[in-house]
């Protein structure tokens, strides 16, 4: 009797479980929708009352020179391990002109080669179209009113009300949002899209109007962007980022870091740092989301073929990528190195490289395959420090190593780390020494050499910049230096 009761109870429980689970799921979804609505209501209250904050008290803040990610200079040349022979190198690529591919202001139009794959078809040029890295983007041009060349801080409230009265939030913001979605722009490129739109269509307007309009549009797109004015009465934007940004002027507002951007036609990065003023916003009202710099896909820009073929000994990869993406990421904000490793720009290009290397390394013992891949990265690229090649510190995304002929230790490490996991399935970490970056790998077997222990496993130094070295060999200069690791793959 007892056994039957238990079985019956289980059957009853089984019968009501789907209904109960459905109720729980529905309740959670209703709760989540409620949270979203509350956030949206709070957010809208900020936008509805922003003019009141702008005409309130503006407090003074100091601006600070951008932080350098690593103050220790990198080696002038890549060190060479004591080995006998170098493997034969194959490096073929379409010509590349190293330097600023575009001005720092509005992008130059890029000529599109004959299309050999599905791409975005640029719309016909109209009065509402502007160029954004070769894309003809159409966004309505509205009457935004007038504004003097210099205004007092409290007059930005009048400017905000002027934009509201002319319906800028309903006429322009949806079109910008749609353009960002259509061309698969991440937060950074959306930010640049708004700035380029304002710089293109309101070039004859005053600087306060352009910066005020940019601020208005970005706020209504949901970003945490503040409006400021320095002591020389020059308006500026204060932009919150999700990631740490290096080598760019910033300030601290109530414990949160904001980065300083002036009008696109009057950039002042690198100039004298001036204190600035900005209004206070209520702490209990969401000010918007920070700009997320991670890339998960390539923007849809016209396709321009760049061929590459890179080989070392018996390992060779070849393919093509969209050269029109390179100007877009050339001046990308400088992040932590692991952010480049976590980003994804061109999945199809990476898939091509991974497939070719996987086929060529198939069947090799793990350590031999790791060292073959290590040798490939060591010899496939010429070493150069970023200031010598570009004039500034420029970490690469994976795809940029297939485009530019030279790279440094950080770039090689990001590239090598990705290949280790995707080609061989080998767990690895990015490793940082003062002035140097490399990789450490977790192997199925023990090897002689330099290693450290992490969560019960040994990770062996595998350095793609220590030319001729094998896994376990560390540059002599860092043998007695404690590394800092960042979990990558």
For residue range 346-375, list pLDDT tens digits in order.
Answer: 999 999 999 999 999 999 999 999 999 999
Q: Which residue has the higher pLDDT, 446 or 92?
A: 446
- pLDDT over 50 at 113, yes or no: no
CA-CA distance, 77 to 62, in Å (whole number)?
A: 39
CA-CA distance, 175 to 173, in Å (whole number)?
A: 5
The mean-pLDDT minimum among 174-188, 325-339, 408-422, 443-457 falls in 443-457
Q: What is the pLDDT of residue 3?
A: 32
Binned at pLDDT 50, 70 and 90, residue 40 comes out as low
The mean-pLDDT minimum among 90-94, 131-135, 290-294, 411-415 falls in 90-94
Q: Cβ contacts of residue 35 below 8 Å, gap of 6+?
A: none
DSSP 324: G
Q: DSSP labels for 53-100?
A: HHTSPEEEE--BPPPPS--SPPPSS--B-S-S-PPPEEEEE-----S-
Binned at pLDDT 50, 70 and 90, residue 39 comes out as low
Average pLDDT score over residue span 133-153: 94
Q: What is the pLDDT of residue 126?
A: 47
Average pLDDT score over residue span 183-211: 96
Q: What is the pLDDT of residue 8?
A: 34
Binned at pLDDT 50, 70 and 90, residue 32 comes out as low
> Whole-model pTM?
0.83
- pLDDT over 90 at 458, yes or no: yes
The mean-pLDDT minimum among 111-125, 187-201, 274-288, 452-466 falls in 111-125
Q: Which residue has the higher pLDDT, 434 or 93?
A: 434
Alpha carbon of 214 to those of 153, 177, 221: distances in Å?
Answer: 16, 14, 11
* 464 in Cβ contact with 374 (< 8 Å): yes
Question: In the predicted model, what is the mean pLDDT of the chain?
Answer: 85
pLDDT digits (tens, 9 = 90+) for 50-62: 999 999 999 999 9
Beta partners for residue 406, in sequence order: 382
Average pLDDT score over residue span 306-326: 93
Binned at pLDDT 50, 70 and 90, residue 227 comes out as very high
pLDDT digits (tens, 9 = 90+) for 228-237: 999 999 999 9
The two structure tokens encoding residue 240:
């919150």
* 89 in Cβ contact with 98 (< 8 Å): no
pLDDT digits (tens, 9 = 90+) for 400-448: 999 998 999 999 999 999 999 999 999 999 999 999 999 999 999 999 9
Roughly what angle, to the nearest 10 degrees, separates helices 366-380 and 409-419?
Answer: 150
The mean-pLDDT minimum among 45-54, 68-77, 290-299, 382-391 falls in 68-77
Residue listed under structure tokens 């720009």: 345
Q: What is the pLDDT of residue 17?
A: 47
State how beta strands 428-433 and 436-442 pair. antiparallel
Q: What is the pLDDT of residue 388?
A: 87
pLDDT digits (tens, 9 = 90+) for 461-482: 999 999 999 999 999 999 988 8
- Identify which of 379, 308, 298 has the alpha carbon closest to the alpha carbon of residue 332: 298
The two structure tokens encoding residue 417:
């780390």
- Max mean pLDDT among 21-25, 269-273, 381-385 falls in 381-385
Map out the domains of the chain as residue ranges.
1-54+120-292, 89-101+302-487
CA-CA distance, 483 to 480, in Å (whole number)?
A: 9
Q: What is the pLDDT of residue 284?
A: 77
- pLDDT over 80 at 19, yes or no: no
Q: What is the pLDDT of residue 482?
A: 86
* Terminal-to-terminal C-alpha distance of the chain: 56
Average pLDDT score over residue span 313-330: 94
Q: Which residue has the higher pLDDT, 22 or 421?
A: 421
Binned at pLDDT 50, 70 and 90, residue 488 comes out as low
DSSP 264: G
State how beta strands 382-383 and 406-407 pair. parallel
**Sheet (strand 457-462) strand order:** 451-454, 457-462, 436-442, 428-433, 484-487
CA-CA distance, 93 to 404, in Å (whole number)?
A: 9
Q: What is the pLDDT of residue 415?
A: 97
CA-CA distance, 190 to 195, in Å (whole number)?
A: 9
* 298 in Cβ contact with 403 (< 8 Å): no
Which architecture does CATH list for 89-101+302-487?
Answer: Roll (3.10)
Q: What is the pLDDT of residue 98?
A: 60
Let me know how long the chain is: 489
* 488 in Cβ contact with 396 (< 8 Å): no
CA-CA distance, 327 to 335, in Å (whole number)?
A: 18
Q: What is the pLDDT of residue 100?
A: 56
CA-CA distance, 43 to 169, in Å (whole number)?
A: 14
Average pLDDT score over residue span 276-280: 95
């Amino acid at each position: 009797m007892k056994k039957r009761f238990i079985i019956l109870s289980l059957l009853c429980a089984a019968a009501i479980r789907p209904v109960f689970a459905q109720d729980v799921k529905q309740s959670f979804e209703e709760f989540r929708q409620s949270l979203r609505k509350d956030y949206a209501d709070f957010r809208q209250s900020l936008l509805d009352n922003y003019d009141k904050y702008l005409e309130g008290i503006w407090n003074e803040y100091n601006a600070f020179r951008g932080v350098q990610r690593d103050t220790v200079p990198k080696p002038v040349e890549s060190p060479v391990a004591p080995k006998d022979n170098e493997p034969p190198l194959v490096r073929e690529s379409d010509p590349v002109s190293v330097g600023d591919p575009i001005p720092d202001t509005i992008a130059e139009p890029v000529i599109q080669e004959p299309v050999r794959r599905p791409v975005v078809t640029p719309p016909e040029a109209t009065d509402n179209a502007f160029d954004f890295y070769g894309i003809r983007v159409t966004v309505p041009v509205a009457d935004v009113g007038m504004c003097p060349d210099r205004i007092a801080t409290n007059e930005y409230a009048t400017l905000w009300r002027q934009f509201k009265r002319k319906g800028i939030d309903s006429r322009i913001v949806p079109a910008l949002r749609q353009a960002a979605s259509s061309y698969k722009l991440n937060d950074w490129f959306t930010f640049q899209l708004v700035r380029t739109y304002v710089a293109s269509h309101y070039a004859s307007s005053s600087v306060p109007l352009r910066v005020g309009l940019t601020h208005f549009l970005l706020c209504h797109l949901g970003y945490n962007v503040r409006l400021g004015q320095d002591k020389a009465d020059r308006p500026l934007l204060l932009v919150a980022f999700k990631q740490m940004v290096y080598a760019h002027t910033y300030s601290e507002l109530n414990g949160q870091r904001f980065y300083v951007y002036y009008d696109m036609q009057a950039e002042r990065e690198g100039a004298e740092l001036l204190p600035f003023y900005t209004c206070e916003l209520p702490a209990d009202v969401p000010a918007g989301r920070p700009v997320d710099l991670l890339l998960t896909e390539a923007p849809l820009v016209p396709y321009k073929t760049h061929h590459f073929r890179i080989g070392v000994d018996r390992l060779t990869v070849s393919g093509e990528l969209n050269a029109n993406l390179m100007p877009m990421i050339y001046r990308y904000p400088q992040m932590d190195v692991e952010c480049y490793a976590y980003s994804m720009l061109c999945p199809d290009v990476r898939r091509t490289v991974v497939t070719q290397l996987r086929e060529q390394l198939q069947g090799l013992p793990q350590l031999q395959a790791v060292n073959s891949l290590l040798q490939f990265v060591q010899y496939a690229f010429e070493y150069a420090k970023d200031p010598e090649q570009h004039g500034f510190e420029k970490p690469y995304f994976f795809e940029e190593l297939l485009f530019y002929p030279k790279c440094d230790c950080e770039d090689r490490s990001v590239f090598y780390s990705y290949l280790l996991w995707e080609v061989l399935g080998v767990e690895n970490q990015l490793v940082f020494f003062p002035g140097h970056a490399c990789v450490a790998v977790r192997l199925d077997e023990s090897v002689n050499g330099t290693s450290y222990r992490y969560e019960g496993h040994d990770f062996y130094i595998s350095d793609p910049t220590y030319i001729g070295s094998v896994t376990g060999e560390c540059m002599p200069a860092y043998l007695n230096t404690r590394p800092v690791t960042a979990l990558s793959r």
